[in-house]
Amino acid sequence: MPEKTLAHRFACRVYYEDTDLAGIVYYANYLRFIERARTEWVRGMGIDQKRLKEDEGIVFAVRRLEADYLSPAKFDDELVIETTPELVTGARIVLKQDVRRGEELLFSAHVTLVALSDTGHPARLPANIRLLLH
C-alpha cells in the first residue's frame, strides 16, 4: 500500500430515490455511492478521465468487487465514503471503500480497477498515475 496516500473522503446524503419502501438504502445503490467517491478520488489527484480517454485511449474499469453489507443506511442519513488504495501494480489498483454513518461502518468493499485500451483490451496504468499512487 502506498504509505503517503491518505484516504479520500466523499460525503453524500441518502435521498428518497435511494431507498426501498421501508426507507432503507437499496443494496445496489451502495455501488453508485462508491462509484461517485472513486470518481472524486481520481479527480482529486488531478486526473482528468475524459482527457485520459481522448489523449491516450485509456479508461478505468472495475474488474472485481467484493462487498460486505454490515448495517442499513436509511433515508436522509449523511454518509461518508472513504477510499483508500491498498495495492498498485503496473496493471491494476485495489481500493478499499468504506461507507460510514458517523463512526458506524455500514458497507465495506474491495474494488479492483484495471486500465483498458480503446479496443477494450487490458493496458498498463499510465506512468504518471502510478507515480501519483506510489
118 is a catalytic site residue: no
Measure the CA–CA gap between 85 and 94, rounded to whole angstroms.
6
Measure the CA–CA gap between 107 and 74, rounded to whole angstroms.
13
Grid cell at residue 108? 465495506
Beta bridge partners of 20: none
From 18, 20, 55, 118, active-site residue: 20
Give every CB contact of residue 47 below 8 A, 6+ residues apart in sequence: 129, 132
- What does residue 30 show for φ and ψ, rounded to 5 degrees? -60, -35
Give every CB contact of residue 112 below 8 A, 6+ residues apart in sequence: 62, 63, 64, 65, 92, 93, 94, 95
Q: Which residues are catalytic?
A: 20
